[in-house]
Amino acid sequence: MRLVFAGTPEVAVPALDALIASDRHEVVAVVTRPDAPAGRGRRLVASPVAERAEEAGIEVLKPAKPRDEDFLARLREIAPDCCPVVAYGALLPKAALDIPAHGWVNLHFSLLPAWRGAAPVQHAVLAGDEVTGASTFQIEEGLDSGPVFGVITEEVRPTDTSGDLLTRLALAGAGLLATTMDGIEDGTLQPVPQPGEGITLAPKLEVEDAKVDWTAPALRVDRVVRGCAPAPGAWTLFRGERLKLMSVGLVADRTDLAPGELAVTKKAVYAGTGSHAVELLWVQPQGKKPMRGADWARGVRIGDAERLGD
């Protein structure tokens, strides 16, 4: 099939690579978000998908909005058979959905209908899911509600951050998307409607969602830290300034600390929660580089009555 691939961030690149490498399909163009400012100089930078497509000599389309008539006209000229999608980052209008003969097929990083939305991996970690996965489905006008072509499953490991899990899903999901394109092309794969029960939503995580509640159990604190890593990044307040929490360890045998209360030893720093303590393994003070929790504690000289939080 003639494919137009839609995607933007680094996590979409493995799927693009898998389709470029396919001997059954041709990626004739890529749709991605417009160049965005990045770095200290706020210089405009092309998306990872755009960079990879340009390396491969593939036409790159960067519509400000996918409803723009110039973009729709060019898509009609290209006349793709199917448009595979991975984390494109914009809603597709019906005018675009109707152009390819086999529609638009999304690779979504959850076992649908669980975790429909922008942040499925983060919410799976936050919820303590033991198993998640990826699904390919036919895009329709509803939110991630279209019929499903195929799924893969992936174990959520006890120490996984969202970044760890998403990296594995992106690699495994690339194969799933390529296989889905094969099945659509030869007619052996038909999408199955999603069940009406088991629907959960995974909206984008905002900075305020990543604020640690020290009255919550230690297991919840650990999930927030892992689920919000690398973005938006779990955080708390210390002396009125934000302290980013990059990694914590559960310390089940220490229950003598009140929520947010700090205790420092020569080699570690602990914080109380609503259950048992956690060790602050890696932190990042405001305006500074990441550092070991014990090094941070020694540098700030924590007093006896000091604690984390409001």
77: its two tokens: 């000229």
- 3-class secondary-structure state, position 279: strand
Structure token pair of residue 8: 């933007």
Q: Which residues of 196-213 are buried (b: 16+ CB within 10 A; e: fewer)?
A: eeeebebeebeeebbbbe
Instruction: Tell me: is residue 111 an annotated ligand-binding position.
Output: yes
**What is the maximum alpha-carbon separation in the chain?**
70
Query: How many residues in total does the chain contain?
Result: 310
Distances in Å between the alpha carbon of 146 and those of 45, 157, 234?
33, 29, 33
Tell whether 112 is in a known binding site: yes
Tell me which residue has tokens 């602050």. Answer: 280
Residues ≥6 apart with Cβ < 8 Å to 149: 105, 135, 136, 137, 138, 180, 183, 184, 189, 190, 191, 192
Amino acid at 52: R
| Residue type, position 186, single letter | D
**By the 8 A CB rule, do 51 and 60 touch?**
no
Asked if 218 contacts 193 with a C-beta cutoff of 8 angstroms, the reply is: no
Instruction: Show binding-site residues.
Output: 110-113
Instruction: Show binding-site residues for (6S)-5,6,7,8-tetrahydrofolate.
Output: 110-113
